Amino acid sequence: MGHTKTYTKVVIDQTAESLGGQPASALIGKCVKIKVTETHKWHIAGYVLETQPEIPKAPKDYFERLEKQREKEAEEEKIKLAGAGKEAAGEVEEVVETIIVKTKPNEVMMHFMGIALLTIGLYILMRSTF
């Protein structure tokens, strides 16, 4: 039994041929490469492929390149959002202009009067019930 870097439990087949003829205790504390044969809710299962896998080395400037890539992606996202914001602002202006053009002053006044009457009616109703 072992675990991944993210601590997912790994159940290893412990047959002699799977372990390469060595005891299972020889793998304690070692990094091994396995073939995953089953996945479950809480663990994965498989058999050993290599007991001494070559651990990949990162180039010396790996983190600098990664940082530059992230900055570039953030800048592109910012530009994309700025463009979307301008488009959205244009849409809002069009909607506001359309509403102002289509709405007549009398209709607005009637709307507010209706709201005022509804409010007064609710006030009278609440006062009379208590």
* C-alpha distance from residue 128 to each of 36, 70, 119, 121, 122 (Å): 74, 65, 14, 11, 10
For the stretch 103-113, pLDDT in tens is: 566 666 677 77
Left (φ > 0), alpha (ψ -120 to 50) or beta: where does 3 sit? Answer: beta
Question: Would you call 119 exposed, middle or buried from its count of C-beta atoms within 10 A (0-12, 13-18, 19+)?
Answer: exposed
* Domain segments of the chain as ranges: 2-50, 62-103
pLDDT band with cut points at 50, 70 and 90 for residue 70: very high
For Cα atoms 23, 46, 55, give the angle at the middle one, nearest 5 degrees: 75
